[in-house]
C-alpha cells in the first residue's frame, strides 16, 4: 500500500482543513506546540518520579529505623550497610526538597522577567536532581545488600 503525502495535503486544502495541513507539513507553530507538549510531559514524568522516590525512600527509612533492633540483632558485621542506606535515603529526600525549592523560585523569577535559565544556573538546577537519584540508588542497593548478607 502506497501513501502519497502530496495528494493528502492537496485533499486537505480542498476541504479547507488548514490546521491538519500545518500539522503534516510541520510549521514552526506546530513544531513549537509539539516541543511545548514534550517539555510539559517531561516535567510531569520527572515530578512523578521524584514523588515516588521520596515515598519509597522515606518509607524504607521509617521502617528500617523503626525495626532496627530486630534487623541489627543478629548481624554486627553488616550494620554499616543499614546505616549507609539511612544516610543515602536522607540525602535523596533532602535533595528532592532542595531541587523543588530552587526550581520553583527560579521558574517564578524567569516567568516574571521573561528570561531563560542561564548557563551558571543549569548545574544549580541539575545537581540536586542527580544527587537525589544517586542517593536513592545507593540507599536501595545498601538496604538490599544488608538483607542479602543477613539471609
Spatial separation of the C-alpha atoms in residues 43 and 98, rounded to whole Å: 16
Q: How many CB atoms lie within 10 A of CB 2?
A: 3
Examine the pLDDT at 143 and tell me if it is beyond 70.
yes
* Close Cβ partners of 1 (under 8 Å, ≥ 6 residues apart): none
Q: Which residue has the higher pLDDT, 27 or 93?
A: 93
Residue among 119, 140, 117, 136 nearest 128 (CA): 136
Distances in whole angstroms, Cα of residue 49 to Cα of each of 107, 113, 129: 20, 29, 11
pLDDT digits (tens, 9 = 90+) for 67-89: 888 877 766 678 899 999 999 99
What pTM was computed for the model?
A: 0.71
Lowest-confidence region among 17-21, 44-48, 75-79, 124-128: 17-21
Amino acid at each position: 500500500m502506497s501513501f502519497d503525502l502530496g495528494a493528502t495535503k492537496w485533499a486537505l486544502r480542498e476541504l479547507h482543513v488548514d490546521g491538519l495541513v500545518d500539522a503534516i507539513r510541520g510549521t514552526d507553530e506546530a513544531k513549537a506546540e509539539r516541543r511545548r507538549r514534550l517539555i510539559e510531559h517531561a516535567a510531569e514524568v520527572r515530578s512523578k518520579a521524584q514523588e515516588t522516590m521520596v515515598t519509597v525512600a522515606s518509607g524504607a527509612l521509617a521502617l528500617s529505623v523503626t525495626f532496627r533492633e530486630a534487623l541489627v540483632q543478629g548481624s554486627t558485621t553488616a550494620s554499616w550497610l543499614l546505616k549507609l542506606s539511612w544516610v543515602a535515603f536522607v540525602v535523596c529526600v533532602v535533595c528532592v526538597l532542595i531541587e523543588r525549592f530552587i526550581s520553583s523560585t527560579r521558574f517564578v523569577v524567569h516567568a516574571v522577567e521573561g528570561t531563560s535559565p542561564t548557563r551558571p544556573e543549569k548545574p544549580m538546577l541539575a545537581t540536586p536532581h542527580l544527587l537525589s537519584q544517586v542517593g536513592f540508588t545507593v540507599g536501595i542497593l545498601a538496604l538490599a545488600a544488608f538483607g542479602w548478607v543477613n539471609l
